[in-house]
Amino acid sequence: MTPDMPIEKTSPSRSARKPEWQLKLYVAGSTARSAAALENLKRLCENHLAGRYSIEVVDLLVNPQLAAGDQILAVPTLVRKFPEPLRKIIGDLSNEARVLVGLDVKPVD
Amino acid sequence: MANKTKRGLATTESQTPELKKTPTGIAGLDEITGGGLPAGRPTLVCGAAGCGKTMLAAEFLAHGALEYGEPGVFMMFEETAAELAENLASLGIDMAKLQRQKKIALDFVRVERNEIEETGEYDLDGLFIRLGHAIDSIGAKRVVLDTIEALFAGVPNHAILRAELRRLFRWLKDKGVTAIITGERGESTFTRYGLEEYVADCVILLDHRIVEQVSTRRLRVVKYRGSSHGTNEYPFLIGARGISVLPITSLTLSHVASRERVSTGIPGLDQMLGGRGAYRGSSILVSGAPGTGKSSVAASFVDAACRRGERALLFAYEESASQLLRNMRSIGLDLQRWVAKGLLRIESTRPTLHGLEQHLVHMHDMVQSFKPEVVAVDPISNLTSHGEDAGLKLTLMRLIDFLKTAGTTALFTSLTADRGDAVAATSEVGVSSLMDSWLLLANVAYNGERTRTLQVLKSRGMPHSNQVREFVFSDHGVDLVDVYLNGDQVLTGTARVAHEAHLSASNDLRGRDHERRLRDLATRRKTLDAQIAALTSEAEERAGEVQFAIAREQFEADGVSTRARSIAASRGASVATPAVAKPAAAGRKGSR
């Protein structure tokens, strides 16, 4: 699996300010589905939100107490922490169009 | 249905010979289920909104944490932790404290459909992890999922959800926790989303129905795999102490019957009941028309108990406590002193305040906290305003059962319509069959006057009088007076008094007559004695005369013979012959 699984902060923004898009991905252990979700998310962000996003990956097997905070039931769950309002997308994020709708991101064409 | 439920879990778990049970601590429920819910397995509690599912589940956890040393996890999907804590605080359960003591863990799972978008595959591991974390953090043995069906609204893909639920219940079993899963009642199924498919071990159905504007909650154990259970619908209540289920009977009639007798407080009545009063722990029904003295009988009954130094509890549904005390004082029953001594408690409530079941629970609570030896309910007929006889009977049956088990002697009064004759008490025959003794008070209108009468219609296990007695109030309580049987008529009231006067007058006359005759007799005896004395003295007088005559004649005879002998001697001749002849004549005279 991806070596950088447990908690990973990808913050490619060039400025020191908080990135425009703060995303959190909750997974449970290193499953194929988790890996797929992270991969899908990264690709999508690079394509559409390049330089304006951060991704935090939370492994609930390691930090189970974090599940309650964001009301996580399903895994994987992607949480859009910022911009408000909070949005959740569950599943392996394989349908890019739906993820974009869910995140309310205007696709870059 | 049966097939559906079997599919869930039956094939996977072999049945242990003795099913372990986890007590719920809910009054009555453990009795119905024979010890509690199946240990280490999930139980489904289903019912319509507002029928007490959450309450039942919460109590299960609270009792587990407080009484059985089993910590619990409450995972709620509808209420927040604060709301739940607030609701439970009304029952005296301090959730915050239990949480601090690590006896209960709360987790509120909020499912907002509009926040969630789904793309691709997922599972509900998040839920498992949260639950697992909560269980592990306090070492929970009990779990409540309330109401997990909320997930169906939040999770779009029901196929995944169903698969995950099945996995969840399996997982709960593997964890060995005893779980309650609540579900909304569906239209044709127990739960709206058919949760009974997954939870097949024990299903409890709650119901809340309104009959003639009175609401009753009922509970039924639909299934309990591997265990016998009560199958009836049992009314239950959510009272000040939480849920109490009222099993109609404790399944068997096994209370121990006491041989001890207790006085009813009315000497005449004790006399009618085999001379020694009622059995301790028995139940007595006193029925009668208005104004026949039912309340006074009840008051005498509790008064007698307090006199013996026992505790008594009087439920008054017609009068306030102070009114009752005042009224009873007018017939010489000073109940106030017993109240002051703490021996008597008078509980006055409006019968319409609660439904029948609630009254019963209230009585239960009172009896359990006060532990009286004697309970009087005045009157039971007021408890049901809508004439639902079956309900009253069931309620009473449970109450009587409960009191008998506790060894409490109970007296119930019952109001019957005043139809003016003694057999007007047919309306509560159903109730009377539960009673050990049945007293009937009746008004007898006769000769322009109304009298109270009392009769013992039945009294189990003792000889009892078949006679109608007159019931009288005096300044010192209530008592019974023998009625007068005059030919084929029973005399009461004025007629009795008149008859009594008549009797006493004739008694008086007879007495005088006797005296006179005795006096006569004495006089005659005296006369006879005098006569006897006179005759005796006469006889003595005669005897004296006779002796005197004899003596004189003897003397004369002696003189004659002496003289003859001296003459003969002087003449020298034998004069033997005349000497013989004379004494013979004298002897004849003297023999008289």
The residue ranking higher by pLDDT, B371 or B248, is B371
In angstroms, rounded to a whole number, what is the distance separating the alpha carbons of residues A42 and B478? 95
Catalytic residue among B13, B233, B318, B347: B318
**Cα B61 from chain centroid (whole Å):** 36
Q: For B373, left (φ over 0), alpha (ψ -120 to 50), or beta? A: alpha
pLDDT at A98 over 50: yes
B19-29 average pLDDT score: 86
Q: Is the pTM of this model over 0.90?
A: no
Instruction: Assess whether pLDDT exceeds 60 at residue B455.
Output: yes
Asked whether the beta carbons of residue B133 and residue A76 sit closer than 8 angstroms, the reply is no
CB contact under 8 A, A64 and B129: yes
CB atoms within 10 A of CB B563: 10
Provide, rounded to the nearest whole percent, the portion of chain B with pLDDT above 70: 84
Share of chain B above pLDDT 90, in %: 23
Domain range list for chain B: 2-245, 261-482, 497-590
Least confident of B55-64, B90-99, B215-224, B393-402: B393-402
Q: With contact defined as beta carbons under 8 Å apart, do B287 and B377 qualify?
A: no
In a domain, A109, yes or no: no
From the list B133, B137, B136, B141, the residue with the least C-alpha distance to B109 is B133
Q: What is the pLDDT of residues B525-554, one digit of tens each?
A: 999 999 999 999 999 999 999 999 999 999
A85 phi/psi in degrees, rounded to 5: -80, 165
Quick check: B239 contacting A, CB < 8 Å?
Answer: no
Burial of B519 from C-beta contacts in 10 A (0-12 / 13-18 / 19+): exposed
CA distance A96 to B242: 52
Q: Which residues of A touch B126 (CB under 8 A)?
A: 26, 28, 60, 67, 72-75, 77
Q: What is the mean pLDDT of residues B491-517?
A: 84
Is A96 within the bounds of a domain?
A: yes
Which pLDDT score is estimated for A71?
86
User: What sections of B330-370 are H helices per DSSP?
Assistant: 336-341, 356-370
pLDDT of residue B498: 80
The arithmetic mean of pLDDT across residues B357-385, rounded, is 80
pLDDT value for B213: 66
CB-count burial class (<10 Å; 0-12, 13-18, 19+) for B100: exposed
Residue B157 C-alpha, separation from nearest chain A C-alpha, in angstroms: 11
Is residue A29 assigned to a domain? yes
Long-range contacts for B81-89 (Cβ within 8 Å, ≥24 apart)? B81/B106, B81/B107, B81/B108, B84/B54, B84/B58, B87/B54, B87/B55, B87/B58, B88/B58, B88/B62
- In the β-sheet with B42-47, what is the strand arrangement from edge to edge? B104-108, B72-76, B142-146, B178-184, B42-47, B202-211, B214-224, B233-239, B242-245
| Contact across the interface for B129 and A60, Cβ inside 8 Å | yes
The CATH architecture of the domain made up of B2-245 is: 3-Layer(aba) Sandwich (3.40)
Find out whether B12 and B202 touch, Cβ atoms under 8 Å: no
Tell me which fold the domain B261-482 belongs to: Rossmann fold (3.40.50)
Tell whether the model's pLDDT for residue A11 goes beyond 50.
Answer: no
Q: H/E element holding A23?
A: strand A21-27
Average pLDDT in the B548-562 region? 92
What is residue B513's predicted lDDT score, i.e. its pLDDT? 92
What's the rounded Cα separation, in Å, for the pair B581 and B589?
13
Rounded to whole angstroms, how far apart are CA atoms B167 and B164?
A: 5
Looking at residue B43, its pLDDT comes to: 92
Query: Which residues make beta-bridge pairs with A59?
Result: A27
Is the pLDDT at A22 greater than 80, yes or no? yes
Record the tokens describing residue B77, joined without a space. Answer: 């999907």
Q: Is residue A88 part of a domain?
A: yes
Task: Kindly state whether residue A10 falls inside one of the protein's structural domains.
Answer: no
- Find the closest chain A residue to B154 by CA distance: A73
pLDDT at residue A13 in the model: 43
Report whether B183 contacts B195 (CB < 8 A): yes
Distances from the Cα of B278 to the Cα of B274, B333, B421, B464, angstroms: 9, 20, 26, 10
Give the model's pLDDT for residue B391.
63
**Contact: B110, A26; criterion CB under 8 Å:** no
Question: What CA–CA distance (Å, rounded) separates B248 from B477?
Answer: 37
Strand order in the sheet with B344-348: B344-348, B312-316, B374-378, B409-415, B283-288, B437-445, B450-459, B469-474, B477-481
Most confident of B14-28, B359-373, B470-484: B359-373
Contact B126 A87 (CB under 8 A): no
Q: Using CA atoms, how far apart are residues B86 and B490, in angstroms rounded to an integer? A: 67
Average pLDDT over residues B487-515: 81
Q: How many domains does chain A have?
A: 1
Comparing B16-20, B285-289, B480-484, the range with the smallest average pLDDT is B16-20
In this structure, of A7-16, B191-200, B270-279, B459-468, the range with the lowest mean pLDDT score is A7-16
Mean pLDDT of B319-329: 89
Q: Is A40 part of any domain?
A: yes
Chain A residues within 8 A of B129 when measuring between CB atoms: 28, 60-61, 64, 67, 75
Residue B70 has pLDDT above 80, yes or no: yes
The residue that leads in pLDDT, B387 or B569, is B569
Q: What is the pLDDT of residue B120?
A: 81
Does the residue A8 lie in any domain? no
**Facing B116 at nearest CB: one of A37, A65, A88:** A88
Q: Model confidence at B243, in pLDDT bands (50, 70, 90)?
A: confident
In a domain, A7, yes or no: no
Interface test with A, best of B115, B119, B121 (most A CBs within 10 A): B119
Nearest to B133 among A33, A65, A75 (CB): A65
Preceding amide of B379 cis, omega within 30: yes
Reply yes or no on whether B318 is catalytic: yes
For residue B10, what pLDDT band results from cuts at 50, 70 and 90? very low
Using a CB–CB cutoff of 8 Å, tell me whether B125 touches chain A: yes
**3-state secondary structure string, B92-161?**
CCCHHHHHHCCCEEEEECCCCHHHEEECCCCECHHHHHHHHHHHHHHCCCEEEEECCCHHHHHCCCHHHH
Q: Which of B30-39, B67-76, B358-367, B487-496 has the highest mean pLDDT?
A: B67-76
Q: What is the mean pLDDT of chain B?
A: 81
Q: Is the pLDDT of residue A15 over 50?
A: no
> What is d(CA B113, CA B427) in angstroms, rounded to the nearest whole number?
58
Task: State yes or no: pLDDT of B441 exceeds 50.
Answer: yes
What phi and psi, each to the nearest 5 degrees, are found at residue B536? -60, -45
Average pLDDT (A25-53) is 89
Tell me which residue range forms the domain holding A79: 20-103
* pLDDT(B14) > 50: no
Q: What is the ipTM of this complex?
A: 0.82
Give the pLDDT confidence of B132-153 residue by residue, as tens digits: 999 999 999 999 998 888 888 8
- The CATH number of the domain holding residue A67 is 3.40.30.10
pLDDT at B212: 66
How far apart CA B439 and CA B286 sit, in angstroms, is 5
Residues B475-489 as b/e (b if ≥16 CB within 10 A, e otherwise) read: eebbbbeebbeeeee
